[in-house]
Amino acid sequence: MTRSFIRSIVLIAIVNGIVAPTSIAQTAIGGSAKREVGRVELQPLAFLAGSCWKGTFTGRSVTDEHCFKWIYNGRFLRDHHIVVGDSVAYEGESTYAWDTPSKQIVFWYIALPGFYSHGTVAPSDSVLLFHDNLQTVDARQMRTTWRRSGPDAYIVRVEEITGGTSKVWWTMEMKRSRAAP
């Protein structure tokens, strides 16, 4: 890559609010490459970062563990999760970001079986409300809430929205289980 091409990409990122000019300058002059805290707009998710959170599905010996960490100097939050206990392990990954034009937290999710979803996260008090479009064989509208139930736990509730009516798929309590790798 040429130097002018890289400068063009950086300028586009700054203009679109993807990166702050000061973070580029700091990195260019030898600033820290690793940042322990995420960007201000992602702070409602900060309690998750640096930890893994694990829960067990009700009535089954199947667990779901999510491990969160800041990436790209805290500009994004990555969540890698794995479901263990069924006949085949299932895993997926979400990336959370701040979308400057819409002024909201957005995410993209990809899963091992090949489906994906994307949506928004609306924080309020001790609740994170996720609205997403799940893309499988049939597109589905989903609503998920993560409600803090203490400093080291939160309750997940996943619903499918069809014709304005919601149907609960499952609920689970997630507990901080270990430091994220």
- Which of 172, 137, 148 lies closest to 158 in space, CA to CA? 172
pLDDT tens-place string over residues 145-168? 999 999 999 999 999 999 989 999
What is the Cα 164 distance to its own chain's centre? 25
Under the banding of pLDDT at 50, 70 and 90, the label for residue 36 is low
Does this model's pTM top 0.85? My answer is no
- pLDDT surpassing 60 at residue 30: no
**Per-residue confidence at 137, pLDDT binned at 50, 70, 90?**
confident
Domains of the chain: 1-33 (no CATH), 34-179 (2.40.128.20)
